[in-house]
Chains A and B, each alone.
Chain A
Amino acid sequence: MKRDGDRQRTFSRRALILGGAQAFLITGLAARMYYLQIVESEQYKLLADENRINMRLLSPPRGRVLDRRGVELANNQQNYRVVLVAEQTEDVAKTLDALAQIIPIDSYERAKVLREVNRRRSFVPVTVAENLTWEEFARVNVFAPDLAGIQPDIGESRAYPFGETLAHVIGYVGAVSEKDLTGDPLLELPGFRVGKSGVERTREDLLRGKAGVSRVEVNAYGRVIRELNRREGQPGGEVRLSLDAELQSHTMALLAEESAAAVVMDVHSGDILALASTPAFDPQGFNIGLTQQAWADLTSDPRNPLLNKAIAGQYPPGSTFKMIVAMAALDAGVVSPEQKVFCSGHVELGNQRFHCWKRTGHGNVSLVDAIEQSCDVYFYDIAKRVGIDRIAETARQFGLGTATGIEIPAEAQGLIPTRAWKLARIGESWQQGETLVAGIGQGFVLTTPIQLAVMAARIANGGFAVTPRLILDEEDDPGVPAAEPERLAVGREGLELVAEGMRRVSNAPTGTAFGARITDREMALAGKTGTSQVRRISRAERDIRVLRNEELPWEERDHALFVAFAPIDAPRYALSVVVEHGGSGSRAAAPLARDIMTKVQEIERALRKPVAGGNPVQNRESG
């Protein structure tokens, strides 16, 4: 018993140590629990919420773009597509085979879908086909109940009902790139599109809208269990343009064969009614994504379809510049309206000879005659008298040489040279011969079609500093100026004289554009032709015979220009047309101008005509 007592004492001691050690370890567990659940609890609560709560952005519908009459120029079209949910079907491959009986699925698409299905969790819908026609979509809808896992689905994508016609004005949307990121979480949504050019880009903030947010609870596999709450986004705002879709379509169709630009503008409000540049491109291509070949075709085309020539094409204005020179000379008092200049077909300056376009000369011409017949010698003479700096000053008054501020990106400034400019830029002093060349809108002078339209508008409205307006804000009414434009610092006499000259260009039998006049007296236009040389004619060539445009390669032919306003009595519309390498202004540009000017006035007439009932205008016409 004594020995057993020993054993028991040993046991008791050891058991107490053992129990103590276990109690110590249990206390350690409790301490660890305290550390995790109290000390670090906040951090883990955050992690648990991060685990379970996902923020889903709700992308708002992009705002529409409308023309002045409410026609949709850009909208969102339903994108009919088919998605596959792998967990709802037993055999993905078999389902795809069955679907292929209903809508075409090529082997490449099929492989892509199978790859995607394997990569994603089985409840994530995978897009099988997109942009289906209504007919195909309807077929899928009919068969969908028999196709496990196949779901017809309607998404939204940007659409441009007018396609190429408005590509340069509306621009296009494309995938978000690094430099587009501004911190707006919407931009990080896969598949989100932002405006990349045109109005889509300048009014991006308005068109985009505000993202909505849906907070959802997800499980460990990412499956949505329920929506916790939702804040609806704000749909994108509408943008209304001053453009007239009908006129724009007509203009683009007229220019379609050429590499050309045309701008139609309201001379009072500055509303841009048409802004055309050809050739154009399909804006939808950028939305879906261009193929490498399509991109190469666009960039290598010598007619440069991606350039909006109406605002970014810079051309020597040629004879369309003569109104500026005339007004500068009159305001400077270096010439009087009646004073005549003799044109022998050329003038000499030092040992240089400057030619008139008419080799035989115009004889004695006054200012109005000179505009009507576009006599170069007359303008050589008065340009020499007034000097380049005064010409430049007047040109600036009429909007040349500076950006007009039209609300789409990438506008070019053009160039109106001065003595100071040449010294600073080229480092040489100005030569008088250069003044003569500038006097007929050649040499350093460069203008954009929209600047020429502004110039024509300011002549037509009697010298008011109207500026182009492409986007109509909420408080703007089409055709009504937002604010009374300022008067330009030019003499009224000069304005009236050049307007008279322009009237005669198109309406006097000796005018350079008489062949392209509008015969309807109420719609008749006043204009000015321009033919700007893009090559230097050598003396040797002049001695034999100046080659005709048709004999030259396309890129060496002259640019054909025309500026105009109409109707002549109470001008409302100003216009500029530039046909790159089109030949002479009177033959290539004036007829286009006539057609466009006729169209814009026909549209106006049709709009003025009421749907029913008597109207004085209608009565007069029918009578």
Chain B
Amino acid sequence: MALVDDRRHEMTFFQKVRNTNWFLIILVCLTAGFGLAMLYSVAGGKMDPWASRQSMRFAVGMSLMLFVAFVDIRIWLRLAYPLYAVGLVLLLIVELMGEVGMGAQRWLDLGFFNLQPSEVMKIALVLALARYFHGLTGEDVQRFRWLIVPILMVIAPAGLVLVEPDLGTAVLLIMGAGALFFAAGVLWWKFALVFVAVLGSIPFAWDRLHLYQRERILTLFNPERDPLGAGYQIMQSKIALGSGGLWGKGFLLGTQSHLNFLPEKHSDFIFTTLGEEFGLVGGLILLGLYTTIMIYGFAVAFHARSQFGRLLAVGITSTFFLYIFINIAMVMGLIPVVGVPLPLISWGGSAMVSILIGFGLLLSVYIHRDIPIPRRPGLDPT
């Protein structure tokens, strides 16, 4: 069983191309195109300053995606832990010497572009956890001692991100990891335990939150509480969405965004502009695109013959879902304002590239879906 003839599973470039899920790539391009149109609109009908640079990043991201997709899934398995280690080190570096931006230390200036280590970690953590659970038997997963290591693997980066402070990414990491734990088969009652523990620690956590984070949570429950400060964003965002109605005000005709009533209209709050200009119809079309991509993600997971591939696909799809849900729920006033961009739409290079690399891995799982991978990596002859 362990001695599988790997040569049988080497694929030629042509086979890979034929195996590629081109429909998923088209969906990603469509969504990103929607995003570029919105960036064009919020700039007042101009390519600068956002749409032109974002399209270049998208081109770079697409190349990276295809490159990642064509790399053998077993190489990703082998690189999972090293990449995780690199991500963790980068997070430590940014914590120690990162530049201060947006009131938080999130960037590493690499000269040609600013790297956000938390974005690297979003991919690396999923890879590492998939790699770890790939190596466990069904019984192992149900034993608590086998869960200590993966829990620490989550807590370490999440803690580092939280002290940056970047609540949004921390939540994304923890919940994305949770989805992976769940798919791997961790027992129900353990999730219930964690849930109770989290509830119990809320009063303690409240004390540790930054003032602006508390403000955002309080404002969520009562936006009128501070109509000029934190509540202003939510209020204006709801006005923009609501005034869009069924069909929207038309492309480039959103008054809320063009008259600057919307803050962060090009980044985290871009969905409001979309809702204002294209209405409920536009919003549902975008949700439809996202949902279709997610269905493909799950389909990839079901098709994969290796546990690593399955978990990787579910982990990436779930992280993608969390981005969407947190962002849209936030701009519609359902959850507090946390800094999470709308995937493939919001302005921002690191997030765009990390999401496309994620899709690259998803494609890689699909392209190499028929390659079985032994549970014990040590027995892997390569």
Chain A contacts to B: CB under 8 angstroms = 1, 3-4, 6-8, 10-12, 14-15, 17-19, 22-23, 25-26, 29-30, 32-34, 36-38, 40-41, 43-45, 47-49, 51-52, 217-221, 225
Contacts and interface: CB of A to CB of B under 8 A. Distances in A.
A33 B183 contact: no
Interface stretch (B107-115, B207-215, B279-287, B363-371): B279-287
A22 B292 CA distance: 12
Contact of B280 (A3, A34, A219, A225): A34
Nearest to B255: A52
A30 B314 contact: no
Interface-central residue, A34, A51, A217, by most chain B CB under 10 Å? A51
B238 A36 contact: yes
14 contacts: A11-B301, A11-B307, A11-B311, A15-B314, A18-B182, A18-B183, A19-B298, A22-B325, A33-B332, A41-B246, A47-B243, A48-B242, A219-B260, A221-B260
Interface in B7-23: none
A41 B137 contact: no
Given A4-B307, A26-B324, A51-B236, 14 more contacts: A7-B137, A7-B185, A18-B182, A19-B295, A22-B294, A26-B294, A30-B284, A32-B329, A38-B245, A41-B243, A45-B245, A47-B239, A48-B243, A51-B261
Main secondary structure, interface of A, reads helix
A51 B241 contact: no
B353 interface: no
Interface-central residue, A22, A45, A47, A225, by most chain B CB under 10 Å? A22
B293 to A, nearest CB: 12
Contact of B291 (A1, A4, A23, A220): A23
Contacts of B246: 37-38, 41
Contact of A15 (B243, B275, B310, B324): B310
Interface string B296-325: 001001100001001100100010010011
A37 B283 contact: yes
A37 B138 contact: no
B298 A15 contact: yes
A4 B241 contact: no
A29 B287 CA distance: 9
B138 A7 contact: yes
A18 B179 contact: yes
A11 B325 CA distance: 23
Nearest to A48: B243
A7 to B, nearest CB: 5
Sorted nearest first, the 6 A-B pairs with minimum C-beta distance are A44-B242, A48-B243, A219-B259, A10-B185, A37-B280, A220-B260
Given A32-B332, A38-B280, A41-B245, A14 B185 contact: yes
Interface in B85-133: none
Given A4-B375, A26-B287, A36-B332, A48 B307 contact: no
B343 interface: no
A14 B180 CA distance: 10
Nearest to B242: A44
Contacts of A45: 242-243, 245
Contacts of A49: 243
Contact of B256 (A4, A12, A23, A51): A51
B314 A29 contact: no
Contacts of B321: 22, 25-26
A399 B314 CA distance: 103
Nearest to B247: A37
B197 interface: no
A392 to B, nearest CB: 69
A52 B259 CA distance: 7
Contacts of A11: 183-185, 301, 307, 310-311, 314
Interface string B316-346: 0010010011001100101000000000000
Interface-central residue, B239, B301, B311, B375, by most chain A CB under 10 Å? B239
B325 A51 contact: no
A51 B291 contact: no
Nearest to A29: B328
B338 to A, nearest CB: 16
A15 B302 contact: yes
A37 B183 contact: no
Interface-central residue, B239, B242, B261, B291, by most chain A CB under 10 Å? B242
Contact of A22 (B243, B256, B310, B318): B318
A17 B188 CA distance: 12
A588 to B, nearest CB: 69
A10 B140 CA distance: 13
Contacts of A40: 242
A18 B314 contact: yes
Given A18-B182, A29-B329, A29-B332, A219 B261 contact: yes
A159 to B, nearest CB: 40
B240 interface: yes
Contacts of B137: 3, 7
B203 to A, nearest CB: 27
B1 interface: yes
B93 to A, nearest CB: 34
Interface in B255-272: 255-256, 259-261
B259 A217 contact: yes
B334 to A, nearest CB: 6
Contacts of A6: 138
Contact of B301 (A15, A25, A41): A15
A42 B259 CA distance: 20
A3 B243 CA distance: 56
Contacts of A217: 255, 259
B157 interface: no
Contacts of A36: 238, 241-242, 275, 332
Nearest to A47: B239
A165 B324 CA distance: 78
Contacts of B231: none
Given A3-B137, A37-B245, A48 B256 contact: yes
Contacts of A4: 307, 375
A212 B241 CA distance: 33
Contacts of A218: 259
Contacts of B239: 44, 47-48, 51
Given A37-B280, A51-B239, A30 B138 contact: no
Contacts of B325: 22, 25-26, 29
Contacts of A37: 241-242, 244-246, 275, 279-280, 283
A44 B255 contact: no
Contacts of B138: 3, 6-7, 10
B260 A1 contact: no
